Structure 1
């Protein structure tokens, strides 16, 4: 099993990096640790996230950050669709 970040997560990852570099640099180290801990947790327990209204799509919050993984599980991989900033308008995810 491996984690694959889809193109749809690209802008989210850039925003997360920018946020922790320029808006909240004090939280960068902790956020990186939490991010990698959640990656490992998903690899060990792919269905840990809660189901969303979209078929086969799950969500799991990254603790102590305002971000969450929006992902889907396949037999050989976990596809990360978004690394969602939970402070954003949630209706954008429905597009």
Structure 2
């Protein structure tokens, strides 16, 4: 299984880096470790996230102890991450 971050995640990942370097630097080390653990967990269990309502094959998996979640789909032997969503954001803008 391969984990692929699509171009649609670029702004999300940039915001997450900004958040943990400028807004909440005290949590950066723990967040990096949690992010890595969650990536590995997703690779081991691709269907671990819950199905998103009205999202054909789209799943969401929250990163524990972080306000972010992976929005993704499983296509053949790939996990395609569509967004790394800040859960505090407006879900109507998730599209």
Q: How does the TM-score come out when normalised to structure 2?
A: 0.96
Counterpart in 1 of 2:75? 74
Question: Counterparts in 2 of 1:1-95, with a 5 A limit?
Answer: 1-53=1-53, 54-93=55-94, 95=95
Which runs of 4 or more aligned residues in structure 1 lie more than 4 Å from their structure 2 counterparts after TM superposition? none
Where 2:3 maps in the other structure, the secondary structure is strand
Q: Which runs of 5 or more residues in structure 1 are unaligned?
A: none
1:74 offset after TM fit, Å?
1.4
- Once residues 15 and 73 of structure 2 are traced to their aligned partners in structure 1, the CA distance between those partners, rounded to angstroms, is 21
Count of matched residue pairs:
94
Give the TM-score taking structure 1 as reference length. 0.96
Structure 1 residue 76: Cα displacement: 1.4
